[in-house]
Amino acid sequence: MKKITGILECFAVAILISSCNDASKKDMSDASQKIKEVNTDMKKAIIAANDSAKAAAISNWKTFKNESDSAIVGMEREATMLEEKIAKANTKEKEKLKAYLNNTKEKLNALKIKLQQRNIEFENNKEKFDTIIASKNQSFEREFKHDINELGTAFKDLFNDNVK
């Protein structure tokens, strides 16, 4: 009888352990499935965020490019008007003003080329958009706006004698 009771006890313990093992296997399987779902959701969210950031960067670049092109065209018009004013200036100042204007026009052309090159680079890299490209764009935009503002001041100062 002791043998039968001992065997039954062992059998009961084995069933208990196996049923606990089945429950923990099911819990592990459920947890694993939930982790896979969370990973999939995170990947989708990251892709959506990147797409959104990419669209915003493209929109910002187009706005910046249009504004910069307009500023360059405006300065080219101003340079033409200044050439007409220089033609009317006295001979002594004419050479000095022409040299200053030509120097300023060369800087404007260099900025124009720089903008074109950066636009080509942006267009080539926009498909593989990342934070480095976004940072590079912001840096370029700040520098370019600063340079354009300096040229605008140079055009305005052409006929002003700033020496006091």
Nearest to 149 by CA among 82, 96, 72, 81: 72
CA 103 – CA 158 distance, rounded (Å): 11
| Of 3-12, 42-51, 56-65, minimum mean pLDDT range | 3-12
| Of 12-16, 65-69, 86-90, 122-126, minimum mean pLDDT range | 12-16
More confident residue, 137 or 163: 137
